[in-house]
Structure 1
Amino acid sequence: MGGMMGGAMFKRTASTLVFKDLVGNDDLSPELVTPYNPPETPNADDLIFELTLPSIQIPNADLLLHADCNEQEVVCEISRYVPRGAEVDSLPAHFIGSVQLEGGGISLTLVLQTLHNETTQSDTQPLMQSKLNLPLSQSGTLLTEVVFVVFSRVPSIVAPIGSDVLLDCGFRQKNSIPGQDVALEWRIQHRGNGRKILDIKARETETDVGQDLFVDREGTSAEADLLVRDGNASLTLRRLKVTDEGTYICTVGSGEFQTQQIVQLHITQPPHITLSEEKLVFQDSTPQKLSCHCHRYYPLDVQVEWFSQAPSEEEPVSLSKESSLSSHRQHSDGTYSLSSHLHLRPDKNPPGTVITCRVSHPALETLSDATLTVGKPDPSKIYIYIFFTNMIYVNSLLSMKLVNEKKSTFHMQSN
């Protein structure tokens, strides 16, 4: 836990977050929830936030309960929060909490509001939390309720170039006021640059939903009526380009609360793989060049390997160390191309040898192979080659003989 937004600044401190009413959410039963056992002796130095959700349902909350079974870690951070129009030290106190599942899943940003201590028959003063100076419950917890939450059920998404994608974002609020303005802003940040791509200020009237809309990217939309009535703040992006990749920030403001959620968008395009030759036949002892072309892929991470397997071999043999790579070529659409070259010798690659170019890339679900088989030379072409070789040899001999005869004639005339 750390200080934030005008609250008292202090070092990070280990804290515990206890969700008390998750069983009130859909599809959750008490049998799924591990009961929380507070410390036997309350300690003023402990930071234990006990959350109740009296009227807010957290979507996909069961993922938090199943995190251990799915070998996922729940990452949580809590800071002080000051609502709009409130004083820094006013009561009730507010906190903002970020809860994420590592490796994918639900991501939450919660606004917590402290509750009054439960009534007791004792006249003793409640134990005060040493760092926050706030009263603790009899079990030593800081009682709070969730009054505002912004969430994403898909905080990271991968989509191909040219497709349409929905960036999931939503919010819930306790005791929202009918007709109250809801503000939604989507921003993109990538490689140090950021810009606003959509801004909506929506309100529900007696007949429909009014809105003020700003859009900075063609094919971008969010639904104002879904935002106001259902808390759906999702963003639609159509006809994705490489330049759409980045970190998207969904910021929702309603009443005195405003917070945000982050969605990562990764763009991909699998490489199109071709070989420079459809057939490979050695007519003589001259090595031949074979190229493997990887066309228009994204992102840049691509790996090319070469293998050969002669008819007499049981396993493929790697030829990657004998290959060379061209530099990456970037196209106007942001995709890349690359070629790998290999020189093959006939003595090491007899007819029937299978040559394989194997490509791996994040956009490929499995390794992609391009293969060809070394063919047998055409006997007629070999005969023609030998014939022309012999003709060249005979012509060379005749030329040498004529030169010698001319030299002899010139010598006799001189005498």
Structure 2
Amino acid sequence: MNLGLILICGVLALKAELPVELAPGSQLRSVDVVLDCHYIEEAVGGFPGAFAGSFSSDPATLVLRGVSIADDGSLDSVTNYEAPGTNTDSASPIIFEVSASLVPVPYAESLLHADCAGEEVTCEISPYSLHLADEGPSQASWFMGTLKLSSGISIALVLKVSSDREEDDRMVVLHPRLKVPVSKEGTVLTTVEFQLSSRTPTLRTRLGTSVTLDCSFALASSSPLASLEWRLQHRGSGRRVFHYQAGDVAQAEQSMAHVDVGQLLETGDASLSLHGVGVGDEGTYICLLSTPQHQAQNIIQLQLVEPPRVRLFPELVSREGDGATTLTCEISGYYPLDVSVKWTREAPDDKDKVPISGSSTYFSSHRQAQDGTYSINSYLSINTATELGPITYRCHVSHLALEEPITASAQLRAPEQKTSKELVGAFIATFIFLAALVGLLLRRRKTVDPKSEKSLDTSG
């Protein structure tokens, strides 16, 4: 990290601590955003024995020229990019200069401040096959730039090559490898013709909730929107979820899917809303936008999760009977399938919980409910005759939907241990017995005494 970037990051850190009231005083400033990239190209006619479909990767630089960034004075030390020179041999780095005069670059501020925010930016540039309705695919002077931030933002840029030289072909200098015109400094000049972005490349939500899959775009005025299609791919099969063709009525293939066509046409918001999602809605969603010339897509992963419910029974174990007892840990209502169960035991003199494994633990088979969730039972066999003191048994359940495992416990009483309920019951039973005995004696005395007095009177 150079000194200029350190100063910028320091100012931004100070800015984050300042009151929000300063934000209205910010002004838009035009700056250059420079990104380290890789130029990816299919290896055609490479070295002998090369596999078909293999790709080459070379260092490249992407320069986003003159993007508008909100500035309240923290960008004073930012300088414009200067090309290193006019060296354009095949071994020199490939530099793409991108003008956003026709179509703005989204999330430019996040790209500029990625280093300060501790984010990683992945940048790839590759040749782009232009689709012409009448002429078929063409690959003349077009490239695709793909940017991904570790925070989850993804951006696709369709770039068209331009030139700052005279129209006379004798004045045009071609890049030795890309075979496209270059500037006087040896850089490839391009303009953004079409951009597609998303803030949610991966989403995780619970069953029955509503979720929005973000997809936004912008087009040059010379290239109108032709169609939007949302597709779902999952486990080798796919289906269309939503489709819009310019001039036609939008078609939702299922009632729970919705795209606001008004926002689609006015602001470029192609986001898909899903209501009451179920297990069948999980998978890879593709937002595919087309113009008469271009096609670009966002890929969004939707993962559904549901945490398990855990119950351990019996909660209280006595030492009666033959000494064999089975504890049942009932785990139900979870999704996806994978779940982890561990058993531990803990005696009063144990410092830590002791793991239990081996033949004393076993599982039932998985069961699937109508809503797609799963259930399973885990069993623990214990011999109460060999346990001399009070023992706590615990069932620990881990699952993708849980930040921490769920724990359920059962108690094994000590042989001499009596619960408070049993002691109260014994006291009440003893009291009732004594009361009944005293009552019986009193009734017997009243019955015997009158007879004794009558006998005495008769003898007299």
* TM-score scaled by length of structure 2: 0.71
1:337 to 375, 388, 391: 375
1:304 to 333, 336, 341: 341
Shift of the 10–311 alpha-carbon distance from structure 1 to 2, 3 Å rule, reads closer
**Mean Cα deviation higher: 33-42 or 251-260:** 33-42
2: CA distance, partners of 1:195 / 1:96: 27
2: CA distance, partners of 1:162 / 1:329: 20
Tell me whether 1:138 sits opposite 2:176 in the alignment: no
1:241 to 271, 278, 285: 278
Deviations 1:313-336, CA, capped at 9 Å, x for gaps: 111111134422222222232221
1: CA distance, partners of 2:402 / 2:332: 13
1: CA distance, partners of 2:325 / 2:311: 17
* Structure 1: gaps spanning 5 or more residues: 204-210, 382-415
The alignment yields a C-alpha RMSD, in angstroms, of 3.2
State the Cα distance separating 1:183 from its structure 2 match: 1.6
State the Cα distance separating 1:10 from its structure 2 match: 9.1
| Matched residue, 1:196 | 240
Deviations 1:63-108, CA, capped at 9 Å, x for gaps: 333444525341424222314247689897222222223x441111
Q: Which has the larger radius of gyration?
A: 2
1:18 to 62, 72, 75: 62
1: CA distance, partners of 2:329 / 2:241: 40
Tell me whether 1:346 sits opposite 2:384 in the alignment: yes
| Matched residue, 1:265 | 302
State the Cα distance separating 1:379 from its structure 2 match: 6.4
State the Cα distance separating 1:141 from its structure 2 match: 1.2
2:214–2:271 Cα contact (<8 Å) kept: yes
State the Cα distance separating 1:197 from its structure 2 match: 1.1
Tell me whether 1:117 sits opposite 2:164 in the alignment: yes
2: CA distance, partners of 1:84 / 1:197: 26
1:32–1:65 Cα contact (<8 Å) kept: no
| Matched residue, 2:329 | 292
| Matched residue, 2:230 | 186
1:2 to 41, 53, 58: 41
State the Cα distance separating 1:201 from its structure 2 match: 2.4
Task: Kindly provide the amino acid, as one letter, of the partner of residue 105 in structure 1.
Answer: G
Tell me whether 1:373 sits opposite 2:373 in the alignment: no
State the Cα distance separating 1:356 from its structure 2 match: 1.2
1: CA distance, partners of 2:226 / 2:78: 34
* Residues matched between the structures, number: 366
* TM-score scaled by length of structure 1: 0.78
Shift of the 325–175 alpha-carbon distance from structure 1 to 2, 3 Å rule, reads same
| Matched residue, 2:454 | none
Deviations 1:252-277, CA, capped at 9 Å, x for gaps: 12353221111110011111111131
2: CA distance, partners of 1:342 / 1:61: 57
Deviations 1:203-256, CA, capped at 9 Å, x for gaps: 5xxxxxxx5122222211000000000100000111111111110000112353
Paired residues for 1:13-412 under 5 Å: 13-21=57-65, 23-26=67-70, 30=75, 36=81, 38-45=83-90, 46-68=93-115, 69-85=117-133, 93-101=141-149, 103-117=150-164, 125-175=171-221, 180-202=224-246, 211-283=248-320, 286-321=323-358, 322-346=360-384, 349-376=387-414
| Matched residue, 1:403 | none
Shift of the 87–140 alpha-carbon distance from structure 1 to 2, 3 Å rule, reads farther
State the Cα distance separating 1:343 from its structure 2 match: 1.1
1: CA distance, partners of 2:71 / 2:368: 49
Shift of the 336–136 alpha-carbon distance from structure 1 to 2, 3 Å rule, reads same
1:350–1:374 Cα contact (<8 Å) kept: no
2: CA distance, partners of 1:86 / 1:17: 34
2:319–2:385 Cα contact (<8 Å) kept: no
**Mean Cα deviation higher: 310-319 or 130-139:** 130-139
Task: Kindly provide the amino acid, as one letter, of the partner of residue 197 in structure 1.
Answer: V
Query: What SS does the aligned partner of 1:159 have?
Result: strand
2:153–2:199 Cα contact (<8 Å) kept: yes
Query: What SS does the aligned partner of 2:87 have?
Result: coil
Shift of the 361–223 alpha-carbon distance from structure 1 to 2, 3 Å rule, reads same
Task: Kindly provide the amino acid, as one letter, of the partner of residue 173 in structure 1.
Answer: L
2: CA distance, partners of 1:196 / 1:330: 27
2: CA distance, partners of 1:302 / 1:34: 53
2:148–2:154 Cα contact (<8 Å) kept: yes
